[in-house]
Structure 1
Amino acid sequence: MSDENRTPAPEKPAGPQPEDIRFFGTTWLDHSGHYGLRRAAVAVGSLAAAVAGCLVLRFAYQGLEIAEVGGFVSVLVVVMFAICSAIAFRRTWEGFSRRPADPAREDALRSVKAIGFIGSLLAYFFRALSEAPGERLHRTEYETARAQYEKRRAGRAGNPSQRKKPKR
């Protein structure tokens, strides 16, 4: 292949670049590329997944009733899923607006969030009604990085050899 047939790689703009968000890429930055439809699809999809998850848990609960494990175990399972869902909802919701202070703690709670997956899906649904999940966090970080980049860039002005020399 000759050099004439190759298309040049697009130049990467200077400065910080926006971070991709799942299902949205970088369309959250200027709300382009069917951003509204994507938000609607994410909201409907997460709500549908939460409803499907509830049906699966209902079948599991019916399995416990058929097995006649007793009232205590049945109540314990319901309470466990409710608490795990509440914790998962809160952690997921907080994760949309700030980075976790302790990533090791988030890793330790991964199993709790997996058990309470319905809470995470509901948090995703409610956040998608107002913005792309995580958009506020990414926008804040991006704008801060852009401001810092512009501040650093403004400090370097022109050719240093053409600057006035200080008098001694």
Structure 2
Amino acid sequence: MDWYQIVLETIDMRSFSNLWFWIALAVVWSTASHWVLGVPFDMVARARRSGGQAGRDLEDMVRITVTRILYIAEEAGLWIVGFGSALLSGLAVAGFVYGMELAQALFLLAFPMSLVAWMNVVTAARIRNEALAGEDLCARLSRHRFWTQVIGMVSIFVTALWGMYQNMSYTALGG
């Protein structure tokens, strides 16, 4: 057995049977639910619990990230939506029409994350427009985190079902 064959057997290039894909999926969603609008959620919990300086720190951090998110959305939003839509469309066609498993896996990672990115822009705009602070800000960030987690759970469930289907189909075909 040569070195090349050992590497290819160790690193299976089929996405849904590859442990690294599932680790990446878990890391993506745990990171997305921990960093709410670019702010670590433990800051929200600390601000709710302690108030005072922790609350001011949270408000400053949210103000910075909200300003940054909305600046990017206003300056490059159309380009980002255009390129993102083209990328997602390309992945969907390559994956589900032409059967490329890697494209399917990337689509199942990227599409739900694009929903979270859209939610980030909407939530940032609400925070700025309503001038949220204190408990109202914490409640908005908690609600945002909840919906991010819902999207993540649905995404992981759908990806797991599709991955099992792909693995069973591959096995049934004698792969």
TM-score w.r.t. length of structure 1: 0.35
Name the structure where helix makes up a greater proportion of residues: 2
TM-score w.r.t. length of structure 2: 0.34
